[in-house]
Chain A
Amino acid sequence: MNLEMTHNNNIIEVKNLVKKFDDFIANDNLSFEVKKGEIFGFLGANGAGKTTAIKILCGISYPTSGEIKIDGLDVYKDREKIKKRIGYMSQKFSLYDDLTIIENIRFYAGIYGMSRLEIKKRSVELLERLNLTHAKDRLISDIPLGWKQKLAFSVAVFHNPAIVFLDEPTGGVDPVTRRQFWELIYESALKGITVFVTTHYMDEAEYCDRVSIMVDGRIEALDTPELLKEKYNSIDINEVFLKLARVS
C-alpha cells in the first residue's frame, strides 16, 4: 500500500476545503479525517452543503481550494486511480429502470472492469444474500423501492471499493426498510469497506461510528454520537443538531 498509509490510518483527509459558486459559499473551509473501516456520518439540513462536499470527494466536482486525499491519493492528480477505489450511491439510486436486476449488476460490475467469471460468481452470491434470486430477471421499474435501495447499495460496493460514498441513501424509505438498509451498511463495514454517508435523518446518526454536523457550509461539530450528546448535554443527536443550528 501507500507509504503514507502505513503510519496513517486515515482513508480520507480533507484540509481547508472551500467550494464557491460565484458569491455563494457552499463549503466553507472544511477540514476532517475519516478513518479506515469506520462508518462516517455526514449530517446537515438540506442545503447545508453535504452533496457538494460528497461530489468533490468523489471527483465529479472540483473544489475552489483545499487539499483532499482519498486513500492517500490526491483528488487533483490521481482522479482516475481514485475512481477505481471508490463506490458511489446517489440519492436517486441510479439503477436503470428498463434493465433487469441482474443486468444492472452486470453493467455496473462491467464498467468497473471486473472479469466475467468474477461477476458471475459474485452476482449469484449477492442475489442469494439479498433474497432476490427469484426476481433477478425482473425489471427495476417493477420492484419495490426498498429492493431498489438495497440493490443500489450492493451494486455500489460490488467491486469491493476501499470506500463507498452514500448520498442520502435512505430518502423516501419507510423506517423498517431503513433499518434493514443499515444492516447492509454494517455488513460492508465489517468487510473493511469505509462508509461515508450523508443524511438529514438525525436518528441515523446513532448508527455511525463518528458524525460531523454541517450547518450553512461549515462543520460545527465532529465526534462520536455519544461524546456529542454528552458535550451538548442532549438526549439524542437531533437535539444536538437543533442546538447547533440555533447558535449559528
Chain B
Amino acid sequence: MKRLIGFIRKEIYHIFRDYRTLIILFGIPVAQILIFGFVVTNDLRDVKIAVLDQSKDEVTTAIMDKIISSGYFVLEEELQSIDQIDPAFRTGNIKEVIIFESNFAEKLEKNGQADLKIIADASDANTGNLIANYTQGIILNYLNEMYKNIQIPYTINKYERFFYNPNLKAVYMFIPGTMALILILISTLMTSISITKEKELGTMETLLVSPLQPWHIIIGKVMPYIFLAFSNAVIILILGYFVFGVPINGSIILLLVSSILYVSLALSLGIFISTLSDSQLTAMFISMLALMLPTMVLSGFIFPIENMPKIIQWLTAIMPARWFISILKQIMIKGSGILFIWKELVILTSMTVLFIVLSIKRFKIRLE
C-alpha cells in the first residue's frame, strides 16, 4: 500500500508539473462542448425566406404572419414574379420560397382548396427537408385553427407531443454524446501516453526490476487520472446544465457513479493500448484513430443506432460510449433510476474488468 501511495504521488507530480498538458486537458473539453452546443445544431433559427404572394389577401397575409412569428423564419424578400425565384436562391441567403397562387382566399372559400408551393434549398439535404417540414407544420396548424368550427364529416385530429425533450432541442443529444466522446478520448490518451513515456525513457525497465507488481503500476497510473477525468465530466455536466439548459432529471449520485465507471473503463482501455505499443506516438495514434471515428459514428452520438444495418448494430455493442450515452440520456433526460440502466452498468463494468485483466496479463507477457 505504501508503495502504491508513493507511486501515485509521483504520478501527481508528473501531471501537475506538465501544466501545458493540463490546460489542454481542461481547455479542449470546454471548447468542444461550446462548439458542439452552439454550432453543431439541427435546430432551425432565423432561416431567411422569400415569398411570392400573387394573391395578397387576408388569408395569405395571416399565414405569412404566422410563419414569421414562429421564430424559425425571417422574411428577407418579397418577390414579384416567378422569374425572380431562381436568382433569389442564387444570389441571396434565401433558403426557401413560399408561393401563393392568385385569388388564394377566394379559391379556398369556394372550392375548399387552394395551392401553395414551398420551394426549399436542398443543397444541404437535411436542412432543406427540415425547413419544408417546419413550414408545412405551421400552415397546417393555421388551417386547423381557422376552420375548427366547421364540421368536416370525417377528420382525424392529430396531437403531437414530444416526451422528455418537448422542444426537440438538439443539445440534449450533443451534451451526452460529447461527454462520452471527450471522456474516452482524453482518458485513453492520457494513460496510454503516460505509460509509453516511461517505456521510452527507460524508467519502465527500472520499475519492472523493482518489487513493484504490475497491478501497482496499473492502479498507480489510473488513480490520479480517474480524478482528473472525473473533474472533466463534472465540468461538462455543469456547462450542459447552466449554459445549455440540459436537465438532470434523475439522481445526480447515480450519474456521477456511472461517470466514474465509464472513466475507469476508458483509463483501463488506455492502459491496454499502452501494452500494445512501445512509443508515445503509436499509443497516440491508436487512441485517436481507433477511438475517435468509431465512437463518433457507432455510439449513437450522431447517427441513430436503430437506423443502422443489423450487423453494424451488433458492432455498436462493443463501443463503450454507446452504453454510456444511453445511461446519460436515461438519467439526465428521462430521469430513470438504476432499474433502467443496470444492463448498461453491467456491460461497462465487465468491459473495465476485461481490459484490466488483459493489461495485467500483457504486462507479464511483455517480459518475454
A86 touches B209 (CB 8 A): yes
Q: Of all chain B residues, which has the CB nearest A89?
A: B206
Q: Are B211 and A84 in contact (CB under 8 A)?
A: yes
What sequence of 0s and 1s flags, for each residue 330-346 of chain B, a beta carbon within 8 Å of any chain A beta carbon? 00000000000000000
Could you tell me how many residues of chain B have their Cβ less than 8 Å away from some Cβ of chain A? Answer: 25
Complexed CA–CA distance, A54 and B211 (Å): 17
Q: Mark A30-63, 1 if CB is under 8 A from B, else 0.
A: 0000000000000000000000000100111110
- List B contacts of A84 (CB < 8 A): 211
B259 to chain A, nearest CB (A): 29
B205 touches A113 (CB 8 A): no
Contact with B along A90-130 (1 / 0, CB 8 A): 11111111110001001110111100000000000000000
| Bound Cα distance from A17 to B208, whole angstroms | 21
Tell me, in angstroms, the Cα distance from A62 to B14 when the chains sit together: 31
Tell me the dominant secondary structure on chain B's binding face: helix
Known: A62-B367, A83-B209, A111-B210. A94 touches B10 (CB 8 A): no
Residue A241 is within 8 A (CB to CB) of chain B in the complex: no
User: Which residues of B are found within 8 Å of A83, using beta-carbon distances?
Assistant: 209-211
B234–chain A nearest beta-carbon distance, Å: 27
Interface string of B356-368 (1 = CB under 8 A from A): 0000000000011
Contacts of B18 in A (CB 8 A): 98
How far, in whole Å, are A99 and B10 apart by their CA atoms in the complex?
Answer: 8
Provide the residues of chain A in CB contact with B202, threshold 8 Å. Answer: 90-94
- Which of chain A's residues has its CB closest to B204's CB? A94
Which residue in chain B gives the minimum CB-CB distance to A155? Answer: B206
B10 CB → nearest A CB, Å: 5
**Roughly how many angstroms separate A86 CA and B210 CA in the complex, as a whole number?**
8
Q: Would you call A174 an interface residue if the criterion is a C-beta within 8 Å of the partner chain's C-beta atoms?
A: no
Q: Which of A8-32 contact B (CB under 8 A)?
A: none
Cβ–Cβ < 8 Å partners of A181 in chain B: none
For the complex, what is the distance from the CA of A58 to the CA of B368, rounded to whole Å? 13
A contact residues, range: 20 to 34
* CB-nearest residue of chain B to A106: B6
Instruction: Check if B203 sits within 8 Å of A96, measured CB to CB.
Output: yes
Chain A residues within 8 Å of B208, by CB: 60
Contact B201 A98 (CB under 8 A): no
Given A61-B368, A107-B10, A111-B6, CB of A94 within 8 Å of CB of B203: yes
By beta carbon, the residue of chain A nearest B367 is: A60
- The listed residue (B206, B211, B216) touching A80 by CB distance below 8 A is B211
Output the nearest chain A residue to B220 by Cβ-Cβ distance.
A111
Let me know if A94 and B6 touch, CB within 8 A. no
User: A164 to chain B: closest CB distance in Å?
Assistant: 11
When chains A and B are docked, how far (Å) is the Cα of A91 from the Cα of B14? 22
Determine whether the beta carbon of A58 is less than 8 Å from that of B209.
yes
A56-86 interface bits toward B, Cβ cutoff 8 Å, 1 = contact, 0 = none: 0011111000000000000000001001101
Instruction: For the complex, give the distance between the alpha carbons of A219 and B206 in Å.
Output: 26
Enumerate chain B residues within 8 angstroms of A90, measured Cβ to Cβ. Answer: 202, 205-206
Closest to B203 in A: A94
Contact yes or no, A112 B10, CB < 8 A: no
A sample of 19 inter-chain contacts (CB < 8 A) reads A60-B205, A80-B211, A83-B209, A83-B210, A88-B210, A91-B202, A93-B202, A96-B203, A98-B13, A98-B18, A99-B14, A110-B6, A111-B6, A111-B7, A111-B210, A111-B211, A111-B212, A111-B216, A113-B2
- The 5 A-B residue pairs with the shortest CB-CB distance, nearest first, are A110-B6, A92-B202, A94-B206, A88-B209, A83-B211
**Apart from the given pairs A88-B209, A92-B202, A107-B6, 9 other A-B contacts in the complex at a CB distance below 8 Å:** A55-B205, A61-B368, A80-B211, A90-B206, A93-B202, A98-B13, A106-B6, A107-B7, A113-B211
